[in-house]
């Protein structure tokens, strides 16, 4: 078997997703269509519809896999860190590194899909990031009421930098160590602000 030409493919669904991810790595979201991917896997376009409702849902699945790959890299980066602050930095850095090292995958991960995936992301990049914020809360550096706001802020900063730095704009930010480290420093400052929101209120006046 193995190299025998088989009529039945074996695991076409997985093969399509793999081909999609490979193409995403190489060229981004441009070619993630039914005909293209069917050709890549040496299968007729019709066969795709045995495994996906439509081209759009195939794309949604590929996009989800890209997000999950991002989440895995974030988990891997966080694994070795114990300190709350370092855990957050590791998450942020992994997010940014993913965007810089795999711009195609990153773009595909966040293309606007008409159709959402039917299962939840697992692991979920958003959850990994939020968990790192919850850790900060557990360490009493922020309050429970702040968690959502902080998560939005942190996510926005990291995602924005990743998007801009990985883009084609001539004004795009530098991507050296210093810039990224500085960005995470400033993000950390924004997260804990002036200790906590309450103490900030006490120490400062209005505005």
List residues near its own copies by CB under 8 A: 85, 107, 110, 112-113, 116, 126, 148-150, 152-153, 155-161, 163-164, 167-171, 173-174, 179, 182-183, 185-187, 189-191, 193-194, 207
The CA-based dihedral angle spanning residues 160, 161, 165, 167, taken in that order and rounded to the nearest 10 degrees: -10
- In the chain, the largest separation of any two C-alpha atoms, in whole Å, equals 77
Q: Which does 149 bind (CB under 5 to 8 A by kind): its own copies, DNA, none?
A: its own copies
Neighbours of 104 (CB within 10 A): 19
Contact 88, 191 (CB under 8 A): yes
Question: What CA dihedral angle connects 92, 94, 99 and 101, to 10 degrees?
Answer: 150
Among 2, 10, 170, 205, binds DNA (CB under 7 A): 10
Minimum distance, C-beta of residue 125 to its own copies, in the bound complex (Å): 10
Q: Are the beta carbons of 143 and 198 closer than 8 angstroms? A: yes
Q: Give which of DNA, its own copies, none residue 158 binds (C-beta under 5 to 8 Å, depending on kind).
A: its own copies
User: Which of 44, 101, 118, 189 lies at the binding interface for DNA (CB under 7 A)?
Assistant: 44
Do residues 126 and 75 lie in contact, with contact meaning Cβ atoms separated by under 8 Å?
no
* Closest CB 45 distance from DNA, rounded Å: 4
Q: Which residues are near DNA by CB under 7 A?
A: 6-10, 12, 31, 33-36, 42-51, 54-56
């Amino acid at each position: 078997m193995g190299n025998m030409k088989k009529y039945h493919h074996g695991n076409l669904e997985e093969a399509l997703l793999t081909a999609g991810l490979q193409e995403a790595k190489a060229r981004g979201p441009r070619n993630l269509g039914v005909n293209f991917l069917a050709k890549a896997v040496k299968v007729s376009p019709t066969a795709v519809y045995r495994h996906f409702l439509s081209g759009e849902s195939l794309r949604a699945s590929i996009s989800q896999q890209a997000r999950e790959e991002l989440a895995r890299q974030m988990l891997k980066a966080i694994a070795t860190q114990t300190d709350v602050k370092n855990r957050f930095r590791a998450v942020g850095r992994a997010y940014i590194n993913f965007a810089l090292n795999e711009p195609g995958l990153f773009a595909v991960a966040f293309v606007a899909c008409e159709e959402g995936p039917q299962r939840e992301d697992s692991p979920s990049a958003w959850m990994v990031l939020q968990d790192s914020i919850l850790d900060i809360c557990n360490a009493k550096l922020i309050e429970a009421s702040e968690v959502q706001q902080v998560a939005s802020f942190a996510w926005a900063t990291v995602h924005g930098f990743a998007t801009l730095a990985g883009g084609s704009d001539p004004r795009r930010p530098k991507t050296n160590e210093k810039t990224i480290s500085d960005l995470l420093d400033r993000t950390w400052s924004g997260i804990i602000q002036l200790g906590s929101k309450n103490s900030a209120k006490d120490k400062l006046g209005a505005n």
